[in-house]
Amino acid sequence: MGYDLNRFEGVVDEELICSICSFVLEDPVQSPECEHAFCDSCIKQWLHHQCICPIDRIQIQPSDLKPVPRILKNLLSKLKLKCDYADYGCMAILRLENLNIHLQECEFNPKKPIVCTLGCNIVIPKDELKNHNCIKELKKIVDDHQSKITSLTSELNRQKYELELNFKELRSLKNFVSKYIKSNQLASNMVSASPTSPTSNLLGLNLTDDDDDDIARWSATLPIAKVIRWGGIISTPDTVLQTVIKRALIEHGCPASILNQLMENAHEKNWPLGLSTLENRQINRSQYANFVCKRVPNKQAVLILACDNRHMPSHMIVEPGNLLIFAHGVE
Amino acid sequence: MASIASARIKREFREVVTSDELTRCKIKLELLNDNFTELKGEIGGPPDTAYEGGTFQLEIKIPETYPFNPPKVRFLTKIWHPNISSVTGAICLDILKDQWAAAMTLRTVLLSLQALLATPEPDDPQDAVVANQYKSNNKIFLKTARHWTNVYAGSTSAAEPEFDSQVKKLVDMGFDSHKSRVALSSHLWNVEQAIESLYD
């Protein structure tokens, strides 16, 4: 639909008027044969009803429409008219070609987006500023975020639960596979008396049920440890300290199959996810009390063995166990 | 109402009211409400036709989809014409149906209706009785049309006094005057046949 004739200065030539809307042509296009010009939106709406020129009934398809000649565009662009917001007080008289640029900037546009300077910095239409309430708007945003957080949290919990199930399944599968390999080895040993097959190591399966039993038996011999100050953990124990602890473990019957792994797990980089960063440690602090900790006798060190801590969520434990060396605070 | 429709009607109304055709061709337009959806049109009967001297009133309703759909027009003044129903005033004219085009205006519609009065299309009839009479008994058709123009459209020229007296005969028998005139017009002014049809 074109521009209202009443907005224009002087008389507008009949040739510049759309015969469909009876206003001054807006985005004009013309039919290819008879060259009658119409507003783009008007002629498209008409061709939706009937594919003929509204003036002389020549057949036209919407795809046939062509841009109007430069002279027509020039004549239109030179017309002078009032701003769209004249009713709101804008006194500007503009050339049609400058209208759109002016409209974007016009101070009289009641819907002009402006930034609230009262504190919330939200962009709002100018005419809503009068009834604008920063607190109300910000509360809306906070509520929005809150509901997003709620839904994300419930999604996170669901994912955690699934992960937990997957861990358990993986563990039982590992057990099954290692038993299977072991029984095969036993069978082949009986035939060829060959040494151990490398397969189990290739699969990263250095834990077996028998090992588990060994660990559990060993764990039973260790005293329960009480950690007074969790803040005393040494996240990166030095070599000397490690050697001392390692010797103590050997002395007190640590199964050889897990000794090296335990020592590696004494370093922060191998800790379970739930303890891996300072931030995670703070989040999970409340769960520490649920750990079953075993004392490395006479040392400021505890073992959180996986076989003792199956009740803990999987992100709080590592296989075969986590060796935590303290500066102080272990009883 | 869609703003494009009311904008068009505003402009078309002005176009008709300010043009010299108002006097030359005797066409008139009157607004019936403020939202430009209902108008009353008026056309003068074209010269040298049976409708000369008559003034015919038209009901014009503008659909919301105007000008993409034609205005709905019917004759309020009773008229004897092959393409206009003598009962309802409904018009059979292609531009008011499938031949409408968005660039047409109320002015062109009124002028087209005037042209229709001058040149009936009996092969595309609205009123079959009238169309039949037009083709088979054109002389009586012209007299009947002139009579209707005289009675209903207020022309003072060429009254048909014998028709008046025939209508009066039936009215004296207790029939409604318009019904009597329709019956007589439909039966070539044969009084017996007209009475018979009125009793049916």
Q: What is the mean pLDDT of chain A?
A: 86
Of A159-163, A318-322, B63-67, B144-148, which gets the smallest average pLDDT? A318-322
pLDDT for the residue A25: 94
pLDDT at residue A198 tops 60: no
| A224-276 pLDDT per residue, tens | 888 888 888 888 888 888 888 888 888 888 888 888 888 888 888 888 888 88
Q: What is the mean pLDDT of residues A9-34?
A: 91
Beta carbons of B12 and A22 less than 8 Å apart: yes
Q: Where do the domains of chain A lie?
A: 5-113, 134-205, 206-325
- Judging contacts by C-beta atoms under 8 Å, the chain B residues touching residue A22 are 7-8, 11-12
Q: Residue A54: which of B4, B11, B103 has the nearest Cβ?
A: B103
Q: Residue for token digits 């003792």?
A: A308
- Judging contacts by C-beta atoms under 8 Å, the chain A residues touching residue B8 are 21-22
Check if the beta carbon of residue A9 is closer than 8 Å to that of residue A95: no
| A50-101 pLDDT per residue, tens | 899 999 889 999 998 999 999 999 999 999 999 999 989 899 999 999 999 9
Q: Residue B8: which of A21, A55, A57 has the nearest Cβ?
A: A21
User: Which of A91, A73, A66 is CA-nearest to residue A26?
Assistant: A73
pLDDT for the residue B1: 45
Q: What is the mean pLDDT of chain B?
A: 88
- Judging contacts by C-beta atoms under 8 Å, the chain B residues touching residue A45 are 68
pLDDT for the residue B158: 59
User: Which of B1, B7, B34 is CA-nearest to residue B105?
Assistant: B7
pLDDT for the residue A26: 93
Of A155-164, A282-291, B117-126, which gets the smallest average pLDDT? A282-291
Beta carbons of B103 and A55 less than 8 Å apart: yes
Residue A209 pLDDT class (50, 70, 90 cuts): low
Q: Which residue of B has its CA nearest to A36?
A: B103
Task: Kindly state whether A55 is in contact with chain B, defined as any CB-CB distance less than 8 angstroms.
Answer: yes
Reported ipTM: the value is 0.79
User: Which of A328, A318, A310, A308 is CA-nearest to residue A223?
Assistant: A308
* C-alpha distance from A52 to closest chain B C-alpha (Å): 8
* C-alpha distance from A145 to closest chain B C-alpha (Å): 41
Beta carbons of B101 and A21 less than 8 Å apart: no
Q: Residue A1: which of B4, B99, B104 has the nearest Cβ?
A: B4
- SS3 call for B106: helix
- Judging contacts by C-beta atoms under 8 Å, the chain B residues touching residue A21 are 4, 7-8
Share of chain A above pLDDT 90, in %: 29
Q: Is the Cα torsion angle B73, B76, B78, B79 positive or negative in sign?
A: negative
- Judging contacts by C-beta atoms under 8 Å, the chain B residues touching residue A55 are 101, 103
pLDDT at residue A199 tops 70: no
pLDDT for the residue A200: 47
What is the identity of the amino acid at A24?
V
User: Strands across the sheet with B38-44, in order?
Assistant: B27-31, B38-44, B55-61, B72-75
Among A151-155, A326-330, B154-158, B181-185, the range of highest mean pLDDT: A151-155
Superfamily classification of domain A5-113: Zinc/RING finger domain, C3HC4 (zinc finger) (3.30.40.10)
* Domains defined along chain B, listed by start: 3-118 (3.10.110.10), 128-199 (no CATH)
Q: Which residue of B has its CA nearest to A17?
A: B103
Low-confidence ranges of chain B (pLDDT < 50): 1
d(CA A181, CA A176): 9
pLDDT for the residue A286: 85
Beta carbons of A54 and B101 less than 8 Å apart: yes
Helix, strand, coil % over all residues of chain B, rounded to 5: 45, 15, 40
pLDDT for the residue B157: 66
Which residues between 12 and 71 in chain B have a beta carbon less than 8 angstroms from any beta carbon of chain A?
Answer: 12, 67-69
Q: What is the mean pLDDT of residues A199-212?
A: 52
pLDDT for the residue A259: 87
pLDDT for the residue A127: 85
Q: Residue B68: which of A45, A53, A55 has the nearest Cβ?
A: A45
User: Strands across the sheet with A28-30, in order?
Assistant: A37-39, A28-30, A66-67
Of A66-75, A184-193, A195-204, A221-230, which gets the smallest average pLDDT? A195-204
Pick among A4, A7, A19, A22 to test the B interface (most B CBs inside 10 A): A22
Q: Residue A21: which of B7, B99, B104 has the nearest Cβ?
A: B7
Q: Residue A46: which of B7, B68, B99 has the nearest Cβ?
A: B68
Catalytic positions of B, written as ranges: 92
| A92-132 pLDDT per residue, tens | 999 999 999 999 888 888 888 888 888 888 888 888 888 88
pLDDT for the residue B61: 94
Task: Kindly state whether A40 is in contact with chain B, defined as any CB-CB distance less than 8 angstroms.
Answer: no
Q: How would DSSP label each residue in B109-169? A: HHHHHHHHHHS--TTS-SSHHHHHHHHH-HHHHHHHHHHHHHHHS---SS--HHHHHHHHH
Task: Kindly state whether A53 is in contact with chain B, defined as any CB-CB distance less than 8 angstroms.
Answer: yes
Task: Kindly state whether A46 is in contact with chain B, defined as any CB-CB distance less than 8 angstroms.
Answer: yes
- SS3 call for B12: helix
pLDDT for the residue B2: 56
Task: Kindly state whether B127 is in contact with chain A, defined as any CB-CB distance less than 8 angstroms.
Answer: no
Which tokens in the block code for residue A91?
A: 């006194």
* C-alpha distance from B83 to closest chain A C-alpha (Å): 23
Which tokens in the block code for residue A120?
A: 């919330």
